[in-house]
Amino acid sequence: MIEGARWKKWLWFYLPLGAFIVALLFPFYWMVVTTVRPDGELYRPWNHPLYSPFWTSHPTFEHIRDLLQETLFNTWMLNTMFIALVSTLISLLCGVIAGYALARLTFRWAGILGTAIFVTYLVPQTLLFIPLAEIIRDYHIGDTPWALILTYPTFLIPFCTWLMMGYFKAIPRELEECARIDGAARWQAMLYIIFPIAVPGILSAGIFAFTLSWNEFIYALVFLSSPEQKTVAVGVTSELIRGDVFFWGSLMAGALIGSVPVAIVYSFFVEHYVAGITGSVKG
Amino acid sequence: MAQVRLRDLNKKFDGTHAVKDVNLEIRDREFVVLVGPSGCGKTTTLRMVAGLEEISSGDISIDGKVVNNLAPMDRDIAMVFQNYALYPHMTVYDNMAFGLRMRKFERPEIDRRVTHAADVLGIQPLLERRPRQLSGGQRQRVALGRAIVRNPRVFLFDEPLSNLDAALRVQMRVELKRLHERLETTAIYVTHDQVEAMTLGDRVVVMKDGTVQQVGAPLELYDRPANRFVAGFIGSPAMNFIGATLAEANGSLWAEAQGLRVRVPPQKAERLRRHAGQRVVVGLRPETLRPATAADSDYAFDATIDVVEPLGSEILLDVRVGDSPVVARVDPGLRFSARERVRLAFDPARVHFFDATSEAAI
C-alpha cells in the first residue's frame, strides 16, 4: 500500500505506537527495577548526588528472598491458583451451556433472559459485596477459599455466557442441522460438532475468567481475613504495607511474580485467544 | 428408496405464511426439483421434509408413514446444504463417517462405505484433508459423499450448486444427474435456477409466494405453462408478454395491441372466443420468433430494433413492438443493425395466451 511521505508514517504511526508501548510497559520496568534495587538505593532522597531512579548498579535478589522466606507468599500463590482455577471451571461450564442455550434454543424468553444476565454483570462489585458478605456469613464460609470460589462466578458467568453466546451465534446453524440429520441427537451434535469448533471461544472465555479471578481484589479483601487464606493481590498489599511503612522491594517482587502465571496463560493460548475474540469460523 | 407425500402442507412463521397448502406426491426414485424466486417457500418446504422446521398444519409421509413428529435423525434422509456444512474440525474421512458412527455401524463397514463413496466421487486422495484445505468443488463432493454413504431413503438438496462458479456448476450439474441415475434414490432438490431445474428434474415444481404454481416434466412446463408466472420463469431469455385485446373480424379472432395485429391460430380460437373483446396477454418465446416472409402475413408484426446482441451461436434482438419490449432469438447468419425496422413472424402453434387478470393460461 502506498502511504505517502515516510515522515508522515513516522509521525502518525511509529511515534504514537512508541509512546503507547512505553506507557504500557513502563510500570513493568519499574516493578523489575524496584525489585532488584537494594534498600540503600530505594530510600535515597531525590537530591542525593547518586540519585538514579531508572536503573541500579547493584542489583540484588534480597527482596525476592525476603518475600519467599519471610512472608506467606507461596501460600498466597497456591490459594490464588486454586480459587482462580475452580471458579473459572465452574463459570466456564455454566457459561458454555447457557451461551449455547441462549444462542440456539428458540425458547420464549431467550432474548429477555440474555439481557437480564448481562445486566447482572453491570452491577458494580463495590455494591454487590455488601449483600454477598451477609450471605457468606450466613453460610459460614467466610475466611475460606469457597467464599471466593462461589462469589467470583457472579460476575464470571454473565461474562462467559455473553462471550460464548456471540461465539455460538457465529457458527453456521447448518453444521448442527446436518449433524442432526446425520443421526446425532441434540446433545451429540453439541458435544461432537459445536463444542470442538468453539474451542477458541471457550479458551478465551477461560483465560478472561482466570485473569479476572486472579486479579480480583475487593471480594478477596472483604471475605478473607487470616493471612494464610489470602490471595496474592490482597496478601501482598496487606502484609507488606504496615501502616505507613511500605516494603517497596518485596511489594514489587510480589507484584512481579504474581503476574507471571497470567502472562504464561496468555502467551500459551494467544493464537486461540485472538481467534476467539475475532470469532472466525472457517468451513 | 421411498415415496414422499406432502398433503395440505402449511408453514406459518410469526406473521408470514411461508408455505400454503402444498400437495405433492413424489414417486420412488424420482428426482423432483422445487424451483422459484427467493422467498417462495421452497427451502422451507424442504426443511419441513427434513424435520428441521416444524409443520404448522398438514402431513408429510415417507413410504406411507406420517413423519410429522419424527426427529431428523429418525427420518432416514440425507441433506446437502448450500454452504456444504462440512464439519471444519474433522478430516474428509471423518466427515463422511460421522453419520455412520452415530448410527453405530461396524468399523470395517464404515471404511468400506466411505472408500466406495470416495471412489464414486473421485475424492480418494483428499480423505485425510480438512475442509478448509479443499476447493469449492471438492467441498461440494465431500458434502455429496457424506450424504450417499448412508444410503438414505431420500436425498434432500438445498441449492447445492449456488456457491460454485459458473463453469464448475455446469460440471457438477452433470455429475449430480449421473449420480442420481446410478444411485436410484428419491431426491428433492431446491434451486432458484430454472436451468438447473430443467436439466436435473424428472419433474419440476414451480413455486411462488408459498403456493405451487405448476408441477410437471420440464418440457411440459416449457410447452404448456399453466400461468403467466410459470411461462416467464421457465426459459431463458424469458418469454415476451404483450398486453392485447381480442377482436372478432372476418370470421376469425385477432389479438390487437398498439403496433400489433396478429391472428389467433385456429386451434386456439375455440377456447379464446369466450374472451372476445377482453384484455389478454400474448406470450411469445424468443426462439419462436424469426424474420418474416410474405407467407407469414397473419402471424407477423413490425418492430423497431433497439439493441443487437450477437452471442455467436445466436443473435438476441431487443426490439420494440408499439411500446412493448420484445426479445427475439434469431439465426446468427443474419445481419441487423439498431434502429432498423424489421418484420418478425412467430410459430402459430407455439403462441400462448393468458387471462389479463387471473394470469392463467387460456
Provide the domain count of chain A: 1
Phi, psi of B41 (to 5 degrees): 95, 5
Contact A283 B98 (CB under 8 A): no
CB-closest option in B102, B139, B146 to A188: B102
Contact A177 B72 (CB under 8 A): yes
Length of chain A equals 283
Question: Closest approach of chain B CAs to the CA of A159, in angstroms?
Answer: 26
Chain A residue numbers touching B52 (CB-CB < 8 A): 177, 180-181
What's residue A104's pLDDT?
Answer: 85
Question: Closest approach of chain A CAs to the CA of B170, in angstroms?
Answer: 23
The whole-number average pLDDT for the span A207-213 is 91
Residue of A nearest to B50 (CA): A181
Chain B residue numbers touching A192 (CB-CB < 8 A): 98
The whole-number average pLDDT for the span B273-299 is 86
Give kind and range of the element (H or E) at residue A186.
Answer: helix A186-189
Q: Is residue A3 part of a domain?
A: no
ipTM for the whole complex? 0.83
Residue A1 has pLDDT above 80, yes or no: no
Residue A147 has pLDDT above 80, yes or no: yes
- Cell numbers placing A70: 519471610
b/e code A156-170 from CB counts within 10 Å (16+ = b): bbbbbbbbbbebbee
Contact B79 A181 (CB under 8 A): yes
User: What is the CATH classification number for the domain harbouring A239?
Assistant: 1.10.3720.10
Instruction: Give CA–CA dist A222/A152, Å, rounded.
Output: 13
Question: Closest approach of chain B CAs to the CA of A195, in angstroms?
Answer: 10
Contact B83 A172 (CB under 8 A): yes
Q: At what angle do helices A62-70 and A15-36 cross, to 10 degrees?
A: 60
Q: Is residue A219 part of a domain?
A: yes
Q: Look up the pTM and report it.
A: 0.81
Q: Is residue A54 part of a domain?
A: no
Confirm if A236 and A166 have CB atoms less than 8 A apart. no
The whole-number average pLDDT for the span A258-274 is 81
Question: Which domain does A235 fall in, by range?
Answer: 71-280
Q: Among B161, B186, B221, B185, which residue's Cα sits nearest to residue B6?
A: B186
Q: How many Cβ atoms are within 10 Å of A105's Cβ, its own excluded?
A: 9
Q: Is residue A6 part of a domain?
A: no
DSSP secondary-structure letter at B344?
Answer: E
Residue A207 has pLDDT above 60, yes or no: yes
Residue A279 has pLDDT above 60, yes or no: no
- Strands, DSSP E only, in chain A? 241-242, 245-246
CA dihedral angle for residue B331, residue B333, residue B337, residue B343, rounded to 10 degrees: -50
- Cell numbers placing A75: 501460600
Instruction: Give CA–CA dist B66/B48, Å, rounded.
Output: 12
Q: Is residue A250 part of a domain?
A: yes
What's residue A138's pLDDT?
Answer: 93
The whole-number average pLDDT for the span B133-146 is 91
Q: Is residue A164 part of a domain?
A: yes
- Cell numbers placing B298: 397473419
What's residue B154's pLDDT?
Answer: 93
Place of cell 480418494: B124
What's residue A48's pLDDT?
Answer: 81
Instruction: Give CA–CA dist B199/A220, Å, rounded.
Output: 71
Residue A283's pLDDT band (boundaries 50, 70, 90)? very low
Confirm if B213 and B206 have CB atoms less than 8 A apart. yes
Q: Is residue A185 part of a domain?
A: yes
What's residue B305's pLDDT?
Answer: 92
Considering Cα of A141, then A146, then A150, then A152, what sign does the dihedral take? positive
What's residue A2's pLDDT?
Answer: 64
Q: Is residue A109 part of a domain?
A: yes
Contact B77 A181 (CB under 8 A): yes
Chain B residues interacting with chain A (CB cutoff of 8 angstroms): 50-52, 71-73, 75, 77-79, 81-89, 98-99, 102-103, 131-132, 139, 146, 150
- Cell numbers placing A73: 507468599
Cα→Cα distances A53→A40, A49, A250, Å: 13, 12, 17
Instruction: Give CA–CA dist A116/B227, Å, rounded.
Output: 53
Chain B residue numbers touching A282 (CB-CB < 8 A): 88, 132
Instruction: Give CA–CA dist B213/B229, Å, rounded.
Output: 8
Residue A282 has pLDDT above 50, yes or no: no
